[in-house]
């Protein structure tokens, strides 16, 4: 089994930096959320200061995923929906935090991610997106904005993620 990872919400904590920087509430839905109602989109906020893409800290899951990648292979693969204007700073963030590992990046929309998973039955995606039509091959990182998703593997703690990754690992994460 090959495990691939989304970045924002899974590894990079972009929301928390934007919440702090712009004094925003924590979003509880993906579309028409609290930010939208205040007249902001994540794209508008990043456009105001695109360095947030580079300055955002890792999520609490980062260390577990980094260790998983380091132990279980020579390469980590990311499937992320990054707008073209974000990609340079996105890559800088990735290469800074994942130094020492071989990195493969695929820029995919959620629809493209699901289509790719459907073709690759031996792949599992770790993501936080709440609007896939099927979560059969997805490990969902829990957030208030994805509570609508049912019948999935939902991760709420670092311990749960470690246990789930260890189910599919050649070598176990300590």
CATH 3.40.50.1000 fits 2-13+56-168, yes or no: yes
* Helix residue ranges, H only, the chain: 14-22, 34-37, 42-48, 52-55, 62-72, 87-97, 110-119, 158-168
pTM for the full model?
A: 0.93
Q: Per-domain residue ranges for the chain?
A: 2-13+56-168, 14-54
Contact 135, 121 (CB under 8 A): no
Q: Which pLDDT tens digits describe the chain residue by residue (174 residues)? A: 899 999 999 999 999 999 999 999 888 877 767 888 888 889 999 999 999 999 999 999 999 999 999 887 768 999 999 999 999 999 999 999 999 899 999 999 999 999 999 999 999 999 999 999 999 999 999 999 999 999 999 999 999 999 999 988 777 776
Contact 38, 24 (CB under 8 A): yes
Distance CA 146, CA 151 (A): 12
């Amino acid at each position: 089994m090959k495990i691939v990872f989304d970045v924002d919400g899974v590894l990079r904590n972009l929301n928390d930096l934007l919440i702090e920087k712009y004094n925003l509430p924590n979003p509880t839905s993906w579309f028409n959320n609290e930010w939208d109602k205040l007249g902001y989109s994540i794209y508008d906020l990043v456009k105001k200061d695109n360095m947030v893409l580079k300055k955002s800290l890792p999520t609490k899951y980062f260390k577990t995923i980094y260790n998983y990648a380091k132990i279980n292979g020579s390469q980590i693969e990311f499937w992320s929906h990054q707008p073209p204007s974000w990609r340079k700073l996105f890559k800088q963030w990735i290469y800074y935090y994942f130094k020492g590992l071989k990195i493969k990046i695929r820029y995919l929309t959620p629809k493209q991610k699901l289509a790719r998973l459907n073709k690759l039955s031996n792949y599992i995606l770790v993501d936080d997106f709440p609007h896939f039509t099927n979560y059969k091959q997805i490990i969902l990182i829990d957030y208030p904005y994805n509570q609508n998703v049912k019948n999935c593997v939902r991760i709420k703690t670092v311990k749960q993620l470690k246990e789930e990754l260890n189910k599919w690992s050649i070598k176990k994460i300590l």
